[in-house]
Amino acid sequence: MIKKTYLLFLCLFTLSAQDVESILKESDRLVSPPQLKVSLVMRLISQNGDIREVRAEGFQKQMDEVQNSRLFLFNFPSTVRGSGLLIHSYGTTQFPRMWMYLSSIKRVKRIALETSGGGYFMGSDFTFNDLVATSSDRYTYEYVKEEDIEGYMCYVIKEAPKEEKLKKDLGYLYTLAYYRKEDSLIFARDYFDLSGELLKIYRVKRVKILDQYKYPSKIVMENIQNGHKTEIEFNAISVEDIPDTMFTHRYLQNR
Amino acid sequence: MKKLFLFLILCYRLSAVDMSLTFTGDYYGSLADDTPLRFRLSALPELQGSFTDSLTWTIDLNLYYEIMGEETDPREFIHQAYIRMTWEKLDLFTGVRQIHLGKTDYYNPFNRVHNYTLKTTKPEDLMSDLSAEIQFYFNYDTYLSLVYVPFFKENNEKFYSGRTSHSLYLSFHTYTSWADLSLYYSRFTDHSPDYTYKDPGLNEAYSSAQNAGFSVSSDLFGWAAALDTACFISGDLKGEYPGIKNSEFHNSFQLSKEFFYRLMVQGNLLWKYVFYQNNDFPSPWSQYDSFLNKSFGQEDSNSLMIRLSVKMNFFNERLEGKISGESRNMEEFYTGLIITGHLSDQWKLETGGDLYPSGITESQPNQFFFIITYTHIF
């Protein structure tokens, strides 16, 4: 009798592969308007409470079926003012490419992204790889449980890179992603390092509704192992059209 | 100076302006005997504005007063002052503007537009020449550039054998998904002087030279790699005239990578081959042979320069340490250290010095320095 009840419980609360796939698709659709423009304020908070601030304008556009482009133009602090970062990602077809315009040397430099999670983005707890779109084909997905995160019931899905090389490149073994039950929005993510220890946690603190999209307008990434935290606020969020010419080397170096 | 301020006011009134103002105090001293070499206060305004979307302007100035040192009068000079005009396929820049060609940061054989390199740190040495550049875009990631420099700063009167000082730098650049490629050809007046002999001694003379080659940068096993290969063709093609430097072949390679998220390592290597290298000069040049070869950097037919720098940051990037070492033919060595403290988003304190100078920096006394900087963004 107990066994039967347990099986019934599993049937009721286990998501099928199709369910997981539809959650992922909906989550992806919600946060992926064809183009997006934001003003971002990034606060880098050390364990002892010291806060550094980076301000930038961010642009994102789905250029075609494969290519997604992002551009960051930094305006604060003075050490990075005038610099820019251009990222082209191509799903599974090619590895993402990055170029940085350094205002101090007035030149565009190509940056290698292939190792160490691509390095941390501007001293934050987000790696460059956290910023680029990665194809879902390269991960396995497994429903784990339901859990309440900051007042919202979420589906918890374990997402693990299929290839060992990808795990090494990303710097983690797997993540636990929390999708809100009410709308499938990804609301939190826990990252586990290559030895399986909790490395960092990502939390959405505020969501902005933009027509048919919902965009996290305040997010926090905290490294549990070293106590460092990054808080990003996105302001002046717009989904209006952005010209393709902005995601080019010409714009990066001559704007 | 008055005209410059009037121009600034005009630009400010007519366009949207983005501005920052940096104040620095720098102190340089000699390591050997603690002698003060320089104490200078500077103000560095940087302004950028646009009259329209296709017409923008940039002005970077340096206004300084030297409390102790060689130039005790208040002075000013222009880092950059140029306008940019843009059309569908063309960008045009004209004015005083920093231009860096090539892809490597050090030992870059294409960085010949101005008389400074990325190793140049003192602001007063970063004086650019008047130039005009046209960039023609075939598409947004492939373009042709032509830079014209009518004359170079301060030395207009010094030209070799009546040759003109006009310099032209032609280059082709493309950014692809697997590599960034550039091709270069230039015919230019070399900033490094040659010499003529007129009794009783040598006189500096600036000669025309040519430079051709290619650059490539890509990802190489997880490292960011860059290669600059160039052939420098001097005015004395066969190496017959001792007062003119000989032609050279340059191969400059750079690798850089970040480790453990906070440790940046960069290695640079230059192999230089001098054509017709000669230590056996005829009279009256023979008495100057070692001076000339050293001045031209042509003591050996083959030379190898190696540079390694390691940069690490601590305490939420508030503190940064950079140590760099350099060697020429594994005979001369140099090591320098720079420590930077970002006291706040506006205040920065930098200190450092020559740790192990042996040969490479012998033209200057071994130095230490302190620089305090405050920047305000309007």
Distance CA A109, CA B218 (A): 10
Q: Choosing among B219, B264, B347, B373, which should be mutated to test the A contact, i.e. which has the most A CBs within 10 A?
A: B219
CB atoms B261 and A107 under 8 Å = no
Does residue B223 have a pLDDT over 50? yes
Query: pLDDT band for position A118 (50/70/90)?
Result: low
Considering chain B, what is the average pLDDT of its residues? 84
Does residue B117 have a pLDDT over 80? no
Hunting for tokens 């030379």 — which residue is that? B303
Distance CA A185, CA A202 (A): 13
pLDDT at A119: 67
CB atoms B219 and A113 under 8 Å = yes
Classified as helix, coil or strand, B27 is strand
Give the mean pLDDT of B144-156: 76
Query: pLDDT band for position A134 (50/70/90)?
Result: low
Does residue B4 have a pLDDT over 70? no
Q: Which residues of B touch A77 (CB under 8 A)?
A: 342, 345-346, 375, 377
Most confidently modeled range among A133-147, B37-51, B166-180: B166-180
Distance CA B189, CA B202 (A): 19
Model pTM score:
0.84
pLDDT at B190: 86
Distance CA B316, CA A11 (A): 48
CB atoms B222 and A251 under 8 Å = no
Comparing CB atoms, the residue among A77, A105, A115 nearest residue B100 is A105
Spatial CB neighbours of A95, under 8 Å, sequence gap ≥ 6: A113, A114, B219
B81-112 pLDDT per residue, tens: 999 999 999 999 999 898 989 999 989 999 88
Q: What angle do CA B87, B93, B95 make, to 5 degrees?
A: 150
Does residue A18 have a pLDDT over 70? yes
- The residue of chain B nearest to residue A251, with distances taken between CA atoms, is B140
Q: Give the ipTM.
A: 0.83
CB atoms A112 and B224 under 8 Å = yes
Query: pLDDT band for position A7 (50/70/90)?
Result: very low
Give the mean pLDDT of B151-161: 49
For A253, the enclosing helix (H) or strand (E) is helix A249-254
pLDDT at B204: 83
- The residue of chain A nearest to residue B85, with distances taken between CA atoms, is A254
Q: Which residues of B touch A105 (CB under 8 A)?
A: 100, 105, 118
A184-199 pLDDT per residue, tens: 899 999 999 999 999 9
CB atoms A119 and B180 under 8 Å = no
CA atoms within 13 A on the CB side of A207: 18
- DSSP letters spanning B211-229: EEEEEEEEEETTEEEEEEE
A89 compared with A235, residue with greater pLDDT: A235
CB atoms B177 and A46 under 8 Å = no
Give the mean pLDDT of B318-334: 90
For A74, the enclosing helix (H) or strand (E) is strand A68-76
